[in-house]
Amino acid sequence: MKRVGAIVSYDGSNFYGYQGQPKVRTVQGVIENALEKIFKYRVYTHAAGRTDAGVHACGQLVVFDCPNPRMTNTDIKNALNANLPSDVYVKKIIDLPDKYNPRAQVKKRIYHYYILNTKNPDIFRRKHLWWFPYELNIEMMRKAAKYLEGEHDFSAFRKSDPSDKRNPVRTIYRIRIIKMRGNIILIRVEGKSFLRRMVRNIVGALVKVGTGDWSPEKVKEVLESRDRSKGAASAPPQGLYLYSVYI
């Protein structure tokens, strides 16, 4: 069987995260249900990122083995989209080497976080942006972000979970903070891999700097403490998108 990758976008608002779980709606669950309808048996998938409940994706990579060698990549894309719900869409199908493992072999992941920085909320986008009505100093946020670039122990920016024994050392290649039209602030975080809730915790810390509650140097202090209890609260999930994956 040939191994393929689906580049998938989804609105995470009505999902309990990406990873399959019994009795709740997940992105992995609906994709595997669609594959089962197409191939008449369960086809298991592997993804580049296990996004949390309420988190979205523009370029998630979902890898699986195609049981039907006669199907072209266009056939697979069309069959999936015909069987997926309206909040999940396969943008394209690509060929991958046998036994390709996206969790281990992806070269880079890019996350986008969007903040609506206005006095009044936009109720029509409340599930897709973090509305933050207080003034933010972007220059101070950029200065703080520089302390997070490079290879560090990100224990202070991971989800508190004693059962998570993964190595907390991660590498962030770059963080960009961009003022967009419509008073939207984009925080773009590029890295090879991330810990659970790491990007949302980084955004929470940068916002503390933006409001003046923290100095930029406070982020460096928190990072070096390796203590999650010293960090800022997590930014809410709805502003976060798995934007793209470099294979």
Reported as type and span, the H/E element at residue 238 is none
CA 16 to chain centre: 14
Query: Two tokens at 61?
Result: 């990579």
What is d(CA 110, CA 69) in angstroms, rounded to the nearest whole number? 32
Active site residue 122: no
Where exactly does CATH 3.30.70.660 map onto the chain?
107-246
CA 148 to chain centre: 18
Topology adopted by domain 2-104:
Alpha-Beta Plaits (3.30.70)
Architecture of domain 107-246: 2-Layer Sandwich (3.30)
CB-based contact 106:189 (threshold 8 Å): no
Q: Model pTM greater than 0.85? A: yes
The pLDDT tens digits of the residues spanning 121-157 come to 999 999 999 999 999 999 999 999 999 999 999 999 9
The pLDDT tens digits of the residues spanning 51-110 come to 999 999 999 999 999 999 899 999 999 999 999 999 999 999 999 999 999 988 999 999
What is d(CA 141, CA 208) in angstroms, rounded to the nearest whole number? 9
CA distances (Å), origin 2, targets 72, 96, 145, 195, 246: 11, 8, 42, 30, 20
CB-based contact 93:74 (threshold 8 Å): yes
**Catalytic: which of 52, 65, 95, 227?**
52
Query: What percent of the chain is helix, strand and coil (3-state, nearest 5)?
Result: 30, 30, 40
Where exactly does CATH 3.30.70.580 map onto the chain?
2-104
